[in-house]
Amino acid sequence: MADERYDRGWERLRELAGEQGERVIEGVRDVSPDLARYVVEFGYGDVYSRAALDDRTRQLAAIAALTALGGAEPQLEYHIGIALNVGVEPQEIVETIVHLAPFLGFARTLNAARSAKRVFAARDVLPR
Amino acid sequence: MADERYDRGWERLRELAGEQGERVIEGVRDVSPDLARYVVEFGYGDVYSRAALDDRTRQLAAIAALTALGGAEPQLEYHIGIALNVGVEPQEIVETIVHLAPFLGFARTLNAARSAKRVFAARDVLPR
Amino acid sequence: MADERYDRGWERLRELAGEQGERVIEGVRDVSPDLARYVVEFGYGDVYSRAALDDRTRQLAAIAALTALGGAEPQLEYHIGIALNVGVEPQEIVETIVHLAPFLGFARTLNAARSAKRVFAARDVLPR
Amino acid sequence: MADERYDRGWERLRELAGEQGERVIEGVRDVSPDLARYVVEFGYGDVYSRAALDDRTRQLAAIAALTALGGAEPQLEYHIGIALNVGVEPQEIVETIVHLAPFLGFARTLNAARSAKRVFAARDVLPR
Amino acid sequence: MADERYDRGWERLRELAGEQGERVIEGVRDVSPDLARYVVEFGYGDVYSRAALDDRTRQLAAIAALTALGGAEPQLEYHIGIALNVGVEPQEIVETIVHLAPFLGFARTLNAARSAKRVFAARDVLPR
Amino acid sequence: MADERYDRGWERLRELAGEQGERVIEGVRDVSPDLARYVVEFGYGDVYSRAALDDRTRQLAAIAALTALGGAEPQLEYHIGIALNVGVEPQEIVETIVHLAPFLGFARTLNAARSAKRVFAARDVLPR
């Protein structure tokens, strides 16, 4: 059953993030196989497998939280990439960051906009 | 024209937050009329008046960002209230907070869940 | 097996935090039964059940992290209480906070010292 | 000589914060006499005794840092009080907070404005 | 009139940050023309155009806030550069960072000192 | 006597961090000799010279606090290195980070795990 959670999580991770997702988990497994396993089981097998939110809402919430957190550029860029994978439009990602400017100010939101720009450039997609 | 931004913002604020919104602005005006004006003009007149995101997405993104920020309970509870005002279901608010648990951990998300509980109790609404 | 994780977590929670721990979980369950379940399963069933660290080290690490996080006084005081429950001396808790003063500065560490003082007063224990 | 630093710090603390400063230190001393001593020696005896910045600049920098930090309302309000003690005008304190709105956003700056309002009300001073 | 705010902001930005300021705005414009516009209008046209604080105080407050925020090195170094542009002495910048060490601890203040060192080296200026 | 604190701190720093510790201090001294001195005197001469905690506990608390703080990778990696120097097992460092996952979430703890991985690789040590 623990295996069930892991398998469901691994499938969900692959569906969302493909090979990039696998590489992230491999990178953690080198230093902590259990932390890697918890990410798959809890992060993807439990939480990302909940039926209640659609993937677009999930990803915009994740982008909002990581923008606010700061100092989490690798995660922010990874989840901007997943957002694109699940069909969120680049412009929606940008709008979410713009929406947070009055809440969080320009220091955090300009950094997030730069992260979005890097991901968009690597994917060769453009907002609007 | 500055007045146009203010008027548009004030109308938007009233539409979203009603009298509670007005009271928040009044409370700031006592100490800084200009900061109160910027909240109305920039926060509501410029950003909350953008056409690109629906109000449900805006509020879930705001809740996600304020959950991550921490130490912002008054704002978090105010924006959970606005979410309810614009028709977001209590359960969607809770799901957004649950979705963030793997990203942010239980310290921030349990605090946000308690904030949601306080707002739901004051409004006599229940998740699910 | 999911039940196994829950049961192991619940037992661990009760062992560490007693009735206060149960009340924290009940309080979350009102607003999100699943978030409450994840805290028990992941927090206590998976992580707090790992064999590798002794409870003293766990609690001092938790206190250090929550001191640094800020805006997490309920969690900090709860985990200071657990530290006392598992036999950490009040003075060790205080020393851990003092040790962090050069890293985090006095704003965060004075707040943590006040949290410790509140818990010690409620338990009628004294450092030194 | 350690005593010299302590004495210089204590005098500086009293000059800046008067009896309120003494009470803060007493409150910490109950739980950690050494942390209280470090605040006096390092915070006031070393750093607040440097000749290079005038007290107005010191206090506005402290207010800016504590506004950004978040979750540090006791310290923020204490240092707003010291700012008033050393002759900073209420309006300068408010202006510093307003200046930070584009950097930090309205969540942190509205909380800081409310802290300023509380201190001004307790002192019966008004901006402008 | 919106244009008036933009024009005033653009002029202020150029006065403070010269071509480097323009490049920052261009870099944001690629991904979000509106976010770039808000920085100019709200950040520089509204707030940086207020009469109440002198530029030295503004920049030291910005440096203090960005030091405390953490994870904002690009903004911190940019605003250290503006501080030099408006005539703040390198030593005053360093003193402001040193002043914050008791508040924020050495983790944030050593990072800020390194940012200052990088800007000073790039400009070939030295504290004291 | 001030010299006594400095000398004791410098010796302690060398004992814990060797030449790498000296280089960190030299790097700060270039921009602020006094900030460098305070790190040695207060950080190492006062706090790291306290008898009450063993070095293993100190370092795990420091790693926990820096993991939670975020945006402090240079300090985190430096203190992971000191942990290894004083005989903490790589696996204990990893366990401490894993222990914090439920508190802080995966964004902060995966970044810390990557920092640990970098230090372990540079030292050619492996967890487990």
Between E119 and B126, the more confident residue is: E119
Distance from CA of E105 to the nearest CA of C (A): 3
Cα D88 off chain centre by: 12
Residue D88 tokens, joined:
């900073």
If you ran DSSP here, which 8-state letter would residue F88 be given? -
Give whole-number Cα distances, D48 to D85, E48, F2, in Å.
Answer: 15, 29, 17
Query: Hey, what are D102's tokens?
Result: 């584009």
- State the nearest Cα–Cα gap between A71 and chain B, in angstroms: 12
Cβ pair E25, E40 in contact under 8 A: yes
ipTM: 0.96
d(CA E5, CA D124): 36
d(CA C81, CA F69): 23
Chains that contact A by 3+ CB pairs under 8 Å?
B, C, D, E, F
Please report, rounded to a whole number, the percentage of residues in chain E having pLDDT higher than 70.
98
Indicate the angle between helix axes D90-123 and B73-85, nearest 10 degrees: 90
pLDDT score, position D128:
65
pLDDT digit string, tens, across residues C39-93: 999 999 999 999 999 999 999 999 999 999 999 999 999 999 999 999 999 999 9
Structure tokens at E56: 């030295």
Residue pair D61/E96 in contact by the 8 Å Cβ criterion: yes
For the stretch B32-68, pLDDT in tens is 999 999 999 999 999 999 999 999 999 999 999 999 9
A chain contacts of residue D108, beta-carbon cutoff 8 Å: 105
Residue of D nearest to E51 (CA): D95
F126 three-state secondary structure: coil
Query: Across the interface, which of E4, E42, E50 has its CB nearest the CB of B42?
Result: E42
Set of chain F residues whose Cβ sits within 8 Å of the Cβ of A61: none
Kindly list the residues from chain F whose CB atom is less than 8 angstroms away from the CB atom of residue D5: 2
F4: which residues sit within 8 A by CB, 6+ positions away? D1, F45
pLDDT at E69 over 70: yes
CB D115 within 8 Å of CB D123: no
- Contact F91/F104 with Cβ under 8 angstroms? no
Q: What is the DSSP string of E16-75?
A: HHHHHHHHHHHHHHTT-HHHHHHIIIIIIIIITT-SSS-HHHHHHHHHHHHHHH-S-HHH
The structure tokens 């409870």 sit at C55
Enumerate neighbours of C (3 or more CB pairs within 8 A): A, B, D, E, F
Check CB contact under 8 Å for E108 and C108: no
C94 to A15, B7, C115, F110: CA distances (angstroms): 47, 53, 10, 28
Taking only the tens place, the pLDDT of each residue in A57-106 is 999 999 999 999 999 999 999 999 999 999 999 999 999 999 999 999 99
Contacts of D13 in chain C (CB under 8 A): none
**Which of the 8 DSSP states describes residue D51?**
S
- What pLDDT shows up at residue E127? 79
pLDDT of A19 over the 80 cut: yes
pLDDT tens digits for range B34-43: 999 999 999 9
Measured CA to CA, the distance from residue E42 to residue B74 in angstroms comes to: 24
pLDDT at position D1 over 80: no
The alpha carbon dihedral of D78, D79, D84, D89 has a sign of negative
How far apart CA D19 and CA C125 sit, in angstroms, is 28
Asked whether the beta carbons of residue C104 and residue E103 sit closer than 8 angstroms, the reply is no
The chain-wide mean pLDDT, for chain F, equals 96
**Chain B nearest C-alpha distance from E2 (Å):** 7
Which residues on E lie below 8 Å from B1 (Cβ)?
1-2, 4
Assign C31 to helix, strand or coil. coil
Instruction: Write phi, then psi, for A87 (nearest 5 degrees).
Output: 95, 10
Burial letters F11-39, b for 16+ CB under 10 A, else e: ebbeebbeeebeebbeebbebbebbbbbb
How far lies E33's CA from each of A94, E26, E78, F6, F87, in Å? Answer: 10, 9, 20, 53, 53
And the tokens for D79?
């240092």
Cβ pair C106:E102 closer than 8 A? yes
What is the three-class DSSP state of C73? helix
Query: End-to-end distance of chain E based on CA atoms, in angstroms?
Result: 45
Predicted local confidence at residue B2, as pLDDT: 57
Distances (CA, A) of C82 to B90, C16, C122, E126, F62: 32, 6, 13, 51, 20
Closest CB to E50 among D50, D60, D95: D95
Query: What is the tens place of the pLDDT at every residue in D9-37?
Result: 999 999 999 999 999 999 999 999 999 99
Overall average pLDDT of the A114-126 stretch: 95
pLDDT for the residue A127: 78
Q: What is the SS3 assignment for E82?
A: helix
pLDDT band at residue D2, thresholds of 50, 70 and 90?
low
Which of A79, B58, A85 minimizes the C-alpha distance to F106?
A79
Task: Inspect the interface and report whether the beta carbons of A111 and E66 lie closer than 8 Å.
Answer: no
Chain B: residue whose CA lies nearest to D67? B71
Identify which of D4, D42, D50 has the shortest CB distance to residue F42: D42
Q: H helices of chain A, where?
A: 2-29, 33-38, 55-69, 73-85, 90-123
Cα–Cα distance, D111 to B32 (Å, whole number): 12
Cα-Cα-Cα-Cα dihedral sign, residues D103, E54, D21, E112 = positive
Residue B18: CB partners within 8 Å, gap ≥ 6?
B85
On chain C, the residues whose CB falls within 8 A of the CB of B127 are 31-32
Determine how many CB atoms are found less than 10 A away from the CB of residue F3: 10
What pLDDT, on a 0 to 100 scale, did the predictor assign at position B12? Answer: 98
Torsion angle (degrees, nearest 10) of CA F45, F50, F56, F57: -120
* Token pair in block for residue C118: 């509140």
Which subunits have 3 or more CB–CB pairs within 8 Å of chain B? A, C, D, E, F
At F102 the pLDDT is 98
Banded model confidence at residue F2, pLDDT cuts 50, 70, 90: low
Residue F128 has pLDDT above 70, yes or no: no
Q: Considering only CB atoms, which chain F residues are within 8 Å of D42? A: 38, 42, 46
Residues of E with CB under 8 A from a CB of C: 100-108
The phi and psi torsions of F60 (rounded to 5 degrees) equal: -70, -35
DSSP symbol at C88: -
Task: Summarize pLDDT for C72-86 with one digit per residue, the tens.
Answer: 999 999 999 999 999
Structure tokens that stand for E97 in this block:
């960072």
Contact between F78 and F44 under an 8 Å Cβ cutoff? The reply is no
pLDDT tens digits along D50-69: 999 999 999 999 999 999 99
